[in-house]
Amino acid sequence: MFLKRIFRGLFGGLWRFFTMPFRGIIRRLLKVYYNLKSKVNKNIRWELIVLFGVCLFLSFIFFTITNSYFARTRTYSTINYSSSIREMSSSVLNIGEKLNDSNISMLNKDEIQRVIDNYGNNSNKLLLVDEEGKVLYKTSNAEETHLDMHAVIRNSMNLKNNYDESRVYDSNMGEFITFYPIGFSDGRAYIVLKGTPRGDIRVESYNNEKSFFALLLSVIFFILVFYFIAGRKVSYIQEIALGVMYIAKGQLNFRIEEKGEDELANLAQNINFMSGELRSKIEKERAVEKTKSELITNVSHDLRTPLTSILGYLNLIKDNKYSSSEERSEYINIAYNKSEKLKLLIEELFEYTKLTNEGIKLNLRDIALNELVEQLIEEFVPVFEENNINTIKDITSENIMVSADGDKLVRVFENLIANAIRYSHKPGQIKIALEKTNNYALFSICNKGDSIKEEDLNKIFDRFYRVEKSRAESTGGSGLGLAISKSIIVLHGGEIWAESKGDNITFYVKISTK
C-alpha cells in the first residue's frame, strides 16, 4: 500500500509536469465538451443526431473489418523477362569492354574465340561481326554468316522502345538482340547477342471490390446498435405512456420517474404536476361536497330545533291549549325567543357565506388595537359578573396601530370573548393579553375549561363544527362564530389558532401592524 501511494504520487507528479504547458488547452477543450454535453442532454433532437452519428461510425468500422474478410480476392500470373534481359545486356557490355580493353587485333582468333566461348551458352548466340555485317566469330550454336547491321540496330531500338519492365514481355516480338561496338587495333566491329529472354513467373493478387454481404451485415449491425442504444429512450417513452394510462384510470398518486434533462424529462415532470393538480382539485371537490353535506345536515338540525319549538308553542296557542293568559304570554315569549335565535342563526350563516365569497372588500382604516380591546372588555363587564368570571388583563399601554376593518375585528374579539365565557368553568377567570412582537400584534384569550383533543383543535375553526357532537342548545352556539372569526382574520392577512394545555384553552390572533 505504501509503495502504491509512492508510485501514484510519482506518476501523478510526472503527469502534471508534462501536461502543464497544455493545461489551458485541455481546460478549454473540457469546457467545450461539457457545454456540448449539457446542450445535447437537454435536447432530444441533438441526442438522436449524436446517436445516429455514433452508430454510423461504428457501422463503418464494422464494414471495413468484414469487407476485408468477405471481399473476393483476384489473382493473376505474369511472366517477367526483365531479369534475363538485364543479364543479356550485361554480358554484351562485359564482352565489349573486355575486348576494348585488350586492344588486340581482329585477326587474333584464339583470344577472341576464347572470350566468346567463355560468355556463350546454349540458349543465347554470341557473334562478332564487322562493320559490313560479316560474321567473324560466333558460338557453336550460331548459324548466321552475315547480319544486316542496319536491321539489327533498327530492331534493337524498336524492341527497346516497346519494352517496359513493368509490362509482360511478348514472345511474338522475336529474339531479343543487343550489341556493343568494339574497337580493335586494326579495325572496328560489333559484338552481337541474340536469344530469347528467360521468363520469371510472378503470381499477384488484388482486392478492389466491395462485398455485398459485408454491406448487408453492416446495415444489420447499424440497426441493432441503434436499437439497443436508443432502447433506453424508447423504454422511457413507454414508461411515460404507461404512467399516463395509470393516471387516466384514476391512480393520481402514481408518479413517473424523471430521468435526464431533455424534453422527455420535462414531459414526465409536467405529467406529474398535472396529476398532483388533478388530485388536489379532486380532493378539494370531495372536501367541498363533504362540507356541503355536513352543512345541510347541521343547518337542518340547527334550524329545525328552534323551528320545532316555535311551531309547537304556536300550535298550543292556536288550539287554545293554555289555562291562563299568563301561560299564553309565556308561550308567546318562548316562541319569540326561539324566533330570535333562528334569526341570529340565519344571519350568522349569511355573514359566513358573504365572508367566504371571493371579491369581498374590507373597509380598512387605522385603528389603535389596544384601545379597541380595552373598550370591548369594558362592554363585557356585566356579562363577566353575571357568569361569576374574573378577568385578568395584560394589555400593553403602547398604541398598536393596525390597518383593519374595525367592525369586523370587533366581531372577531366578541366571538372569542363570548366563546371563552360560554365554555369557562364557573366561577373562573379569563386572561386577556395584547402585545406587540416585531411587526405583529398578538392577541390571546385564555380560560379554564374542559380539555380539547388535538384533532378537535385542528377542526375547531371549521363551519358548524362543535366539540360537543350532540349540538344541544345548552352546550354551545351555532358553530359558525369561530369560522366567521377565522374568515375575517384571513381577509386581514393574519392568523388565528387555538392551543389546549390541560384545562387551559387559549386562542391567539396575529395581525400585522403598521
d(CA 500, CA 455): 11
Whole-number mean pLDDT of the chain?
Answer: 78
The proportion of the chain whose per-residue pLDDT surpasses 90, expressed as a percent, equals 5
pLDDT recorded at residue 246: 82
Cell 446495415 found at = 219
476: pLDDT strictly greater than 60: no
φ and ψ at 376, to 5 degrees? -65, -40
Region 109-130: what's the mean pLDDT? Answer: 79
Query: Phi and psi at residue 391, in whole multiples of 5°?
Result: -110, 140
The rounded Cα 194 to chain-centroid distance in angstroms is 86
Enumerate the β-bridge partners of residue 511. Answer: 441
Query: Is there a contact between 144 and 138 (Cβ–Cβ < 8 Å)?
Result: yes
Helices (H), 319-400: 325-356, 369-379, 381-386
Cell of 441: 400584534
Specify the pLDDT at position 290.
Answer: 74
Residue 514 and residue 440: Cα distance in Å, rounded?
Answer: 9
Higher pLDDT, 354 or 431: 431
Per-residue confidence (pLDDT) for residue 435, from 0 to 100: 92
The three cell numbers locating residue 349: 350563516
Q: What domains lie within the chain, and their CATH numbers? A: 24-72+213-251 (no CATH), 80-204 (3.30.450.20), 362-512 (3.30.565.10)
Contact criterion met (CB below 8 Å) for 239 and 264: no
* Separation between Cα atoms, residue 70 and residue 335, nearest integer Å: 111
The set of cell numbers assigned to 29 is: 477543450
Mean pLDDT, to the nearest integer, of 61-74?
76
DSSP state of 146: B
Name the pLDDT band for 430 (thresholds 50, 70, 90). Answer: very high
Q: Is the pTM of this model over 0.75?
A: no
Q: Which residues contact 224 (CB under 8 A, 6 or more apart)?
A: none
